Each structure stands twice: as structure tokens, then as C-alpha cells.
Structure 1
Amino acid sequence: MQANVEWQNDLVFKASTGSGHDVVMDGNKATAASPMELVLAAAGGCSSVDVVSILEKARQQVTGCRCEVHGERADGIPAVFTKVHLHFVVSGHDVAEKHVERAVQLSAEKYCSVAKMLEASVVMTHSYSIEQAE
């Protein structure tokens, strides 16, 4: 796996991934997400892939999954994340709570590479709620 990051202007950089995709980052958050915001997004994205995949394998009728990620950073420099909380909002038809709980737990404890990497120095917490789809 690899990526190249190239300066565009000001504090704007374009990352090109080995899989052929581009992501723009802005250290000033004026034109794009900051690199630290993308770390939170990566944790939410990675965990969401796990949760949806696990629920689909359990034959749950999932129609939506949103991961609300909140990060707290240290006051000093470097302003690393000290706490990250992932809250999953799963919607669907008669989705069983035991399956959602298991999917979130498996993602947190076993499958999410981003979260596992972060937990070495960040307090990672998880929660979920279920919404009945119309």
C-alpha cells in the first residue's frame, strides 16, 4: 500500500493513493478537510465497513449506517488525539440489537485496522443506536 502527497498551494495538499484515488487536504480547513479530520473519518469509515459487512452476513435488513465520530485532542503540541468516540446509527427493518452490538464489538476488538492502530495511544470508545426504517 502506498500514497503520494503533493503540495498544491498555501497549506493545500493532494494525496494520490496506490489504488488510483485522490484526496485533497487543507491545513487551514478552508477548502478541504484537515489531515486530522481525515484520521477521524478513516476510523469511522473503516469501522463502518466492518459493521455493515458483519450485519449483512448476519442477514440483517440494514438500510443505512452512519458513524458519528468525535475526537478530543491534547492541548499542547503535537495536538494528538487523546480520545475518540465512534457512535453508530444503524437503520433498517427489524435489525436485532444483539447483532448490532456484536458487529460494533467485533469491529472495535478485531477487524478495524485504523481503530486498532489508534488505540495504542488513544482511548477508543464505541456506542450504537438503532432506527427503524420506514
Structure 2
Amino acid sequence: MKARVKWLEGTAMVGESGSGHAVVMDGPPDLGGRNLGVRPMEMLLLGLGGCTQFDVLLILKRGRARVTDCLVELSAERAETEPKVFTRIHVHFIVTGHDLSRKQVERAIALSAEKYCSASIMLGATAKVTHDFEIRDA
């Protein structure tokens, strides 16, 4: 896997993935940014959300669950001193569908968290990562 990050101006940069996609990142105005894009640490949190959602949906699909929507809400706390690593991350799933089994959703989230989600497992080496979920009928 490869990526590159090109500096634009100030603290703005564009990240380009090896798969050919681009995203703008920037710093906050108090550090010279113009708020043109997400912060790099926010990208890490978004990556975790995307990684675990991908896993959970794939596991549920393979189990023939009738999912119509899935939202992952993430909240994180960072250390107060440098390096300001994530110390706590909470991942909340809102899974919507038809006749979803609580046990099946719980299992999919556990498998992602413990076995498949590289981002979650990697960030879990420095942060306490917790998960919960709710199921909504479609």
C-alpha cells in the first residue's frame, strides 16, 4: 500500500491514496490553517470508522442479515501533552434493517474489533477502544 501527501500552502495538504483517490487536509486557523479540510488526526478516526463499518457490513451480509443502513459514530479523547495520541475511542453503531438479530450484530462488531479491523486493533495498542450498538427497524 502506498500514499503520498503534497503540501499546498500554509498547513493545507492533499493526500493521494495508492488507489487514486484524494482528500484535502488542513490545520486549524490558530496554527496557520484555513480550515480547508479535515485534520490529520480526524482522518485516523474516520479511517477507523470506515474500516470497522466495512467489516461489520460484510459479516452481516454474509450472514444474510437484511441491513438497510449503518451509521458509525465515533468519539475520541486525546492525551493533553505531546504526542497527543488517542487515549480513548468509543465506536457506536446504529444498524437499521429488517428482523435484525441482536446476537448477530453483536458478533459482527466483536469479530471486527477483535480479528478483522486493522485500524481498530492498531489504535487499540495506545487507546482504550470500546464499542456499543443499537438496532433500528427499517
TM range (shorter): over 0.9
Task: Give CA-to-partner distance per residue, 1:9-54, whole Å, 9 cap, x none.
Answer: 1111101111111111111271111001111100010000000000
What is the TM-score normalised by the length of structure 2? Answer: 0.94
Residue 8 (structure 1) aligned with residue 13 (structure 2): no
* SS of corresponding position for 2:114: helix
What is the TM-score normalised by the length of structure 1? Answer: 0.97
Whether the aligned pair in 1 keeps the contact of 2:85 and 2:126 (CA below 8 Å) is no
1:117 match: 122
2:131 match: 126
Residue 106 (structure 1) aligned with residue 111 (structure 2): yes
Q: Tell me how many residue pairs correspond in the alignment.
A: 133
Aligned mates of 1:2, 1:8 — CA distance in 2: 20
2:48 match: 43
Aligned mates of 2:14, 2:76 — CA distance in 1: 24
Q: Which moved more, 1:25-34 or 1:51-60?
A: 25-34
What does 1:32-111 correspond to in 2, within 5 Å? 32-111=37-116
* SS of corresponding position for 1:15: strand
What are the ranges of 5 or more consecutive residues in structure 1 without an aligned counterpart? none
Task: Give CA-to-partner distance per residue, 1:29-85, whole Å, 9 cap, x none.
Answer: 711110011111000100000000000111010000000000000111111100011
Counterpart code for 2:15? A
